[in-house]
Amino acid sequence: MQTRSCITPETNFLRLCFLNLSRLHDGALCGLYIHITYLKRLHDLCAAAACPLLDSNTLLCSYSGLLRRGISSNRMNALAATSRNFKQAAKLLGLDSKLEKSLLIPFREIKVECTIPKDDGTLASYVGFRVQHDNARGPMKGGIRYHHEVEPDEVNALAQLMTWKTAVANIPYGGAKGGIGCSPGDLSISELERLTRVFTQKIHDLIGIHTDVPAPDMGTNGQTMAWILDEYSKFHGYSPAVVTGKPVDLGGSLGRDAATGRGVLFATEALLAEHGKTVAGQRFVIQGFGNVGSWAAQLITEAGGKVIAISDVTGAVKNINGLDIAKLMKHSAENRGIKGFQGGDAVDSNSLLTEDCDVLIPAALGGVINKDNADDIKAKYIIEAANHPTDPEADEILAKKGVLILPDILANSGGVTVSYFEWVQNIQGFMWDEEKVNRELKTYMTRAFRDTKEMCHSHHCDLRMGAFTLGVNRVARATVLRGWEA
């Protein structure tokens, strides 16, 4: 019996898509989702007939391989949302298609092998990444994260977001991001130090005070930055401005630890003032009680706001009369989480986002507000302290309900803004007191909100698109002025 061939123009095209999966590039950030869709479609075609292109097992392994790379649904949404928001902003601004493509492509991508001796004498190898997205407005800026799921697609998206975020804040930086694929909890302090120093040795010629300035991120901290500073200085002389988020004793800025949470407060104040309200008397729900969430809760309480519910990875607690944040912070530090706190009632963490409140602050994971729960959200305002907590589908649902969302690209820019202040202090060799740091941060956050509102009025769009058009327009103007076509 003759085997029926299914080689058609469609299957041949899908075959090429499959064979080029490993060459996927972030020029189209939503491409990964498209490729997975093609894999599923090709599987159906191959199943319909004896197809010599690819067997089902090969396709299944390839699809599973993508999932093993850590491409969760949330991360696909983050990549797709980054591309979607940029392209919408470019359309509103009427950018030239060649300039639009140029702004998406990273300036430089770095991938290095980091091999270290472990404490038991064995050798271990890790892969480090640094994506430098754009330097049209100044040195590139972004965190370094240590996490077992660090991979190029995510790093590219986060580097691009840093480009727009620094432009919205109107600080003279471009965007970058980096990381090492490791589980920091499985490494000793000495192993983490050796890994950090090897990574710095591999990239020291590609970072610098006026080139690319790293900062802490997930899985890293001030000590990590201190190691980078020391290793970099062996090659280039003492250079405190090469990293930010350092310990104060090595040139770190006062107020840096609270900066993102304090920026969330200032951004919230600006949004509420626009509607004739103040923080005082408003009911807040905060998802996440790490650095950002805990500082935001503390500062909001000091400003007269009432934080009625909070969650972290261990559980959630609610008190309609307002939680005692000082006692909650003490309990969390002593018990490694808020679970068991006696100053409120334990509630289901999954229902926290839909609690009745005036202001909702997601300050933990991305993609937590989605089409499945957006209809049930009762908050009038959402302040995105986390990166990409709201999916595009949820955006549309919430907009129809009249919920105002202050986007992450503006709301959580307090951290990078105070990093800029630290960089300035290091270059000048003149340190500021904390009062000046906080005063300048409020000026920058308030001005960024005002500039975003102006773009909203100019382009008749919401706050998210107002922030994106503001950031993209500033980078595009700088790029054109510097002569990008030369």
Q: Which residues are catalytic?
A: 177
If phi > 0 it is left, if psi is from -120 to 50 it is alpha, else beta; for residue 420 that is alpha
Handedness of CA 221, 411, 130, 180 (dihedral sign): positive
Residue for token pair 């992450």: 408
CA–CA dist 243, 319 (Å, integer): 41
Q: Which amino acid is at 211?
A: T
Query: What distances in angstroms separate CA 408 from CA 307, 363, 422, 465, one per listed residue?
Result: 20, 10, 22, 12
- HSE at residue 383, side-chain half, CA atoms within 13 A, is 35
Any idea of the CA torsion for 381, 387, 389, 393, to the nearest 10 degrees?
100
CB 260 within 8 Å of CB 292:
yes
